[in-house]
Structure 1
């Protein structure tokens, strides 16, 4: 099929994935485009900014290019990324069969402009987990379906270099920002993990907290900055997010991926899928993790701080527990290639 993909987020090029940290939205868009090509489709991906180039088989073009998709050849499918109003974009040929991949807040999809775009185009709405779609009350021609996202390829590749417990560092990793539960994770680490696992390191990848530690971000509370400083001797480290391959290597070197789950509006769980593909078990309070983690098998969904801390401690210190969870995560990993295959069946 000839598939046109449209995204209206930040400006980026696919090569940026190798040079700088990108958001989950952009990384998923790139990975799915490349997965569709790998399955034999022709893909033209349009986004804000960037340059026109062909990369890994995908024709990357600017969103507002005046040129028709595929040089004017018929388009078999249009995949709009997250933004229902993009269904009316002038680059979409009239009468096209459209999919809307939606992993945002359902309240946005219930807004008048979004609902009108769905009614006018007859687009197939694709939600990313079962509970996500239950809040949608739109009356549209096609019943919404659910397709979960997948891990980016770099994480599965990185896991192949770190099979054994001994090949992993005494390390836990979390990717977050200052408003998504970092303070509680640090508190749990300080009270339950550090005293029982000497030498263990907690790496927090958070750009806002990293800049605040350097005195360059006033939006982060002084209390959180002080908490980090007070726990440096207990192994807490704040790091700037890295390009995808570097993040994959670091997560694949860890014995646990820490996710909070009580804060924020994440409906994707991209980092959770990435961690599991890296064969790194996940510990979380829930949220989107409930739809991504097999509790007790590929990680843990916990009720309180005590359980959270004790399970992180066990993953770091107990070879058998880590090996069982890591192997299950590796064997059940889901990649964007799986997503592409499910899209083909629609």
Structure 2
């Protein structure tokens, strides 16, 4: 099949995640073309990349590049208007990573009702928020890039918790909980916050006014073992996750991807989460992590994984086993079955 994927967001390509931090949704988009090409398909990708190139046997083109006259499958990423990127398409797919309710916006619904694409979802939580009304929908299997698979975890001393959440998605709450309830139970532990925005703030750069109080709080929390880290590409980020004892994930009701939570599970880092958005779908509660019912439970579970090596190692092994086969090749094979 000739498969065309199209995204209209930021500049990136299939190599980007190896050399610099990239959002989880963009990373997913960058991972699928090569996996489809390995199944024998002719794959073209159009996005805001700087120039055209072949990556993993898929042809990446600039957004303004020459479009095919027709394609067997058009996969539009996140923006419904992209369903019309190629006029003649045998099948159309709308790959949606946001809350399901956004699909019921009038303009979005009109576009979907007109083209009747396969709705490609990333979480069961999305399906609870909208009415499919006869449209076909598929849940893309969870998958991570190879950097997060295979290598052994090697938790460091002092024990380390890692957080990857967007600063506006519960980080203020987590820092307070760390200072007040987690660190007192694990007095040698460190909280490593991976955030480009906060790393820039620590270097003196201007950030959004609404986040300045949080930046000040995080800076003052250094005496409580809080460390701000600049996010890295996949190889180095995978190492950071393998060196941590626990991934603390505050979550957000609209977070349907929870992509870094998938990566930490694959790397063998147990998690403590709040049951928000799609986060509960990314762990096996009580086996590879914990979904905490309240603040006290979150703090107690986090402290336990920071201090009890036996529990942490057992959960780490279970997480790696659960995610061992969750590759993009597998996800592409599932999608291929729906497209035939």
Global fold match (TM > 0.5):
yes
Give the superposition deviation at 1:138: 5.0
Structure 1 length normalisation: TM-score?
Answer: 0.89
Q: Which residue of 2 aligns with 1:78?
A: 74
Give the superposition deviation at 1:264: 5.7
| 1:144-177 superposed Cα distances (whole Å, 9 cap, x missing partner) | 23224322221114xx132x65x67611111122
Equivalent pair of 1:127/1:146 in contact (CA under 8 Å):
yes
Q: CA RMSD in A?
A: 2.1
Q: Do residues 195 (structure 1) and 184 (structure 2) align?
A: yes
Q: Which residue of 1 aligns with 2:65?
A: 65
Q: Do residues 161 (structure 1) and 152 (structure 2) align?
A: yes
Q: Distance in 1 between matches of 2:117 and 2:268?
A: 36
Give the superposition deviation at 1:2: 2.7
| 1:204-238 superposed Cα distances (whole Å, 9 cap, x missing partner) | 11222222332521424443233223321221011
User: For structure 1, which segment, 208-217 or 291-300, has the greater mean C-alpha deviation from structure 2 after superposition?
Assistant: 208-217
Q: Which residue of 2 aligns with 1:290?
A: 280
Q: Which residue of 2 aligns with 1:117?
A: 111
Structure 2 length normalisation: TM-score?
Answer: 0.90
Of the candidates 313, 333, 336, which is equivalent to residue 344 of structure 1?
336
CA shift in 2, pair 1:149/1:81, >3 Å: farther
SS in 2 for 1:172: strand
Q: Distance in 2 between matches of 1:51 and 1:185?
A: 41
Equivalent pair of 2:72/2:89 in contact (CA under 8 Å):
no
**Is there any run of 5+ residues in structure 1 with no aligned partner, and where?**
none
Q: Distance in 2 between matches of 1:134 and 1:260?
A: 21
Give the superposition deviation at 1:273: 0.7
Equivalent pair of 2:158/2:188 in contact (CA under 8 Å):
no
Q: Do residues 269 (structure 1) and 261 (structure 2) align?
A: no
Equivalent pair of 2:100/2:126 in contact (CA under 8 Å):
yes
Q: Distance in 2 between matches of 1:43 and 1:170?
A: 45
Of the candidates 176, 195, 198, which is equivalent to residue 206 of structure 1?
195
Q: Which residue of 2 aligns with 1:132?
A: 126
CA shift in 2, pair 1:222/1:77, >3 Å: closer
| 1:37-80 superposed Cα distances (whole Å, 9 cap, x missing partner) | 33333321111242100122221112231242xxx6x6332222
Aligned length: 334
SS in 2 for 1:177: coil
Q: Which residue of 2 aligns with 1:26?
A: 26
Q: Do residues 226 (structure 1) and 216 (structure 2) align?
A: yes
SS in 1 for 2:120: strand
**Is there any run of 5+ residues in structure 2 with no aligned partner, and where?**
none
Q: Which residue of 1 aligns with 2:229?
A: 239
Give the superposition deviation at 1:198: 3.4
